Amino acid sequence: MTPAVWGLKKSSLALLLLVVFGGGNAQAALFGDDEARRAILDLRQRLEQSQTANRALMEQAAQQLTQQQTQQITQLNQQHNQSLAQLRSALLDLQSQIDKLRADLAQSLGAQERLARDVTDVQLRQKDSLSSVDDRLRRFEPVNVTVDGREAMVEPAEKSDFDRSMALFRQGDFPGAQAAFAGFVSRYPTSVYKPSVLFWLGNAQYANKAYREALVNFQRLLTESPTHPRAAEAMLAISNVQVELKDLKAARKTLEDLVKAYPATETAGTARERLSRLR
């Protein structure tokens, strides 16, 4: 209990005692004199003043209580605001840390992706390099081919040059084929293709009406490779060249030698037919 409330209660009690004990004396002399009436009026005035004072004290006490409560509420609000501010600061710090972690994670993921791309690029380059090396090695590795019914191992470039020369001949480009076959013989003098190249070189020269050059190459084929599958055809071609050169005697002799050397071939049958026409 506050001092103001206690004092208010003491004043009210004193006033009540005064009214009770003083009131009896006043009633005894109520109609005795004017002084008694004035005393009663004075007492009533004092009572009213006391009540007014008591009400003022009570209002003051209530105001003091209200101020104390307001102060307490204000303090609580301040403490609450401080707590909220601290909480907001902590949340902001936490959010900042989260954002930093996210940025670090994104940077790390980005670095990993770049590393993965770099590794993939390196692997692709290595694969391309190995493939290129393999291609270059394959250019020098011998390949298996079949030349006029005979299997043999030749260099890739050698095969490529022969195929290109034959392509020109099949296209009817006889001047180009003649140059290509002649160049082949110069580049690959010991090639397994050489007998076939001499045969087709002679045919290209025959088509170009270079009869004497064709005769030389057909005879060279027979000299170097008499057992070659194209040998009988080369002799038949020689007889054709000799006919073009108006040497019919030599042509008949070549056809007779063809029939004797290769009697069982289809070319020998063709030679017999031509002999019958040349006689």
Task: Count Cα atoms within 13 angstroms, Cβ side, for 265.
Answer: 21
Tell me, what amino acid is at 221?
L
pLDDT at 278: 83
Q: What is the pTM of this model?
A: 0.52
pLDDT of residue 274: 95
| Per-residue pLDDT at 139 exceeds 80 | no
Distance CA 152, CA 247 (A): 38
**Does the pLDDT at position 185 exceed 70?**
yes
Q: Taking residues 205-215, what's their average pLDDT?
A: 97
Q: State whether residue 27 is helix, strand or coil.
A: helix
CATH fold of the domain at 143-278: 1.25.40
Least reliable range by pLDDT among 20-34, 55-69, 132-146: 20-34
Q: Which residue has the higher pLDDT, 7 or 190?
A: 190
* Annotated domain spans of the chain: 3-95, 143-278
- Which of 2-16, 23-37, 112-126 is predicted with the least confidence, judged by mean pLDDT? 2-16
In the predicted structure, residue 30 carries a pLDDT above the cut 80:
no
